Amino acid sequence: MSVQSTGTLTVVVLAGGRSSEHEISISSGESVREGLLAAGHEVVWVQIDEDGAWRAGDERLAMMPGEGLLESDVVFPVLHGPFGEDGTVQGLLETLDVAYVGAGVAASAVCMDKVLFKQLMHAAGDVPQVEHVGIDEERWRRDGAAAEAEVRRLGLPVFVKPAHLGSSVGIVKVAAWEELGGAVEAALLHDARVIVEATAGGIEVECAVLGRTRSERDAHGAEALASAPGEIVLVGEWYDFHAKYAPGGMELRVPARVSEPVAVRLRELALRAFAHVGCEGLARVDFFVDGDRVLVNELNTMPGFTPTSVYAKLMEHAGVPYAELVDRLCHLALERHERVRAHRH
């Protein structure tokens, strides 16, 4: 699975951002920087402050359309949440005409919106999902009783989430219906759209997806590969922010304790979801598994790259060590940029 490097690249690692996941992004970016240096590349650190300013060192950047970014070969946007993972920064990088790692504008926007992602999977018709209800703030203010009645059909407990945040930020577990209104209001502090999900049961399982280079696609026929499924073994009650990022908050068991047919099904569904939304480069697909029942929950287009993050561990188990992983993602970005520029617009 080794990818031959085509020489030293100058890579802008873009981290921080305006979302509540700013510090997580910084931590992810630092790990990516170390991985790129280990792979033999030159790294330029660009940080997006919480006020939205882009800085390289002490210098505040000014960017011009079509002129790239700091004469880099590729940008690695290790950004989580709104204003980074939702297509906004991807659109800016497209305007700058620079190669960048990860999903494009449309796929980033769709996957960042948990409600829209589920609607797309439903339209595809071949991706089983967790039952859910989407609630926009305007609807909640106008007719909260009707929205609550729809949610009650999911049964208890339910999980209330901001639709556009990751890393389990703003999630509330509701065990009694009198708690629902407060949970929705808390989520609306983060987002104008809320998703309420039924409890799926079973175990939480994740698959890492990695795109294939052009030569690999020619040899294997598939545009991406999926890792063996990894099982999230929780220390606490559910997979909250602490479990994801605190040392010892959870254990990743690879391979997951599922039957071989279920493991095959998980990998197939991960690749199917990746293809349906038009993802490129990488993704982490999250599932609930209860016996032979498999449900897709979310697709993350820029999963965490911290030392405790699942994506890199799954890829390492698949035979792609960290330095090779970030190197491969940069070359995938360059291939896509070359392919896109070949088209007339």
Amino acid at 106: A
Model confidence over 173-221: pLDDT tens digits? 999 999 999 999 999 998 999 999 999 989 999 999 999 988 888 776 7
- Catalytic residue list: 21, 167, 245, 284, 286, 298, 300, 304
Which helix (H) or strand (E) is 43 found in, with range?
strand 42-48
Average pLDDT in the 42-65 region? 96
Which domains does the chain carry?
10-101+336-341 (3.40.50.20), 110-128+201-319 (3.30.470.20), 132-198 (3.30.1490.20)
Q: Of all residues in the chain, what percent carry a pLDDT higher than 90?
A: 83
Examine the pLDDT at 249 and tell me if it is beyond 70: no
Examine the pLDDT at 106 and tell me if it is beyond 90: yes
Determine contact, residues 219/212, Cβ cutoff 8 Å. no
Which string of DSSP letters, residue by residue, matches 200-240? --SEEEEEEEEEPPHHHHHHHS-SEEEPPPEEEEESSSS--
Residue 1: what pLDDT? 34
Examine the pLDDT at 32 and tell me if it is beyond 60: yes
Distance CA 224, CA 280 (A): 9
Determine contact, residues 308/119, Cβ cutoff 8 Å. no
- What rounded mean pLDDT belongs to the chain? 92
Residue 166: what pLDDT? 65
Residue 20: what pLDDT? 83
Model confidence over 298-315: pLDDT tens digits? 999 999 998 678 999 999
Residue 4: what pLDDT? 41
| pTM to 2 decimal places | 0.91
